[in-house]
Amino acid sequence: MYWKPNPLIIIGLAAASAPIVAHAKIYVSIEQAQKILIPNKPLTKNPIIITDDLQDRMRSASSIRHPFRGDRIWKAADGGWFIVDEVVGKHEMITYAVALSPSGAVTGIEILDYVESYGYEVAEAQWRNQFIGKTAADPIKLNQDIQNIGGATLSCKHLTDGVKRIAVLHEIALKNQTQASKAK
């Protein structure tokens, strides 16, 4: 007796061992996000050094472990800020931008890159608009003052924590720069 493999089993095994591929979606570039979030205002790149102490303070306020990069900060002519950051979604990085008023209130968020194959609903304006007006003094916590999206829980949590990190960055490191500019 000769064994003859069932073609359906072979196809099923091949499909089961095939890698799951996520396709990156670029929603907007940094330049486009700048025009959307801070329209008609000149921006000046304003990198800062992120000391270990500053990194630790932002980490304890937000629980984000991925290090913040201080080279993606711009200051607007009116004293507002445009900051690009990254957080992990479920497995892959989400790149996003946050605009802050001179007082540190969130004026808008744009998703730049989203690589995950699900949870992309965090890019919808309705969800992102929940952050508008939030400052470091607000909880900025998922299921507390920010609503979750079913099927995108980790992306929602990590982006929420990332926005908290940006708000805390303003409170700790950027607010003094805004006040110093006004004093001149």
Give the model confidence (pLDDT) of 78-122 as tens digits. 999 999 999 999 899 999 999 999 999 999 999 999 998 888 899
Residue 16 has pLDDT above 60, yes or no: no
Of 133, 165, 162, 127, whose CA–CA distance to 146 is shortest? Answer: 127
Strand partners, 109: 98
Instruction: Check residue 19 and give its pLDDT.
Output: 54
Tokens read off for 124? 């919808």
Helix H or strand E encompassing 97: strand 93-100
pTM: 0.84
Of 74, 134, 91, whose CA–CA distance to 109 is shortest? Answer: 134
Cα–Cα distances in angstroms (integers) from residue 14 to residues 19, 22, 46, in the given order: 10, 18, 51
* 140-159 confidence digits (pLDDT tens): 999 999 999 998 999 999 99
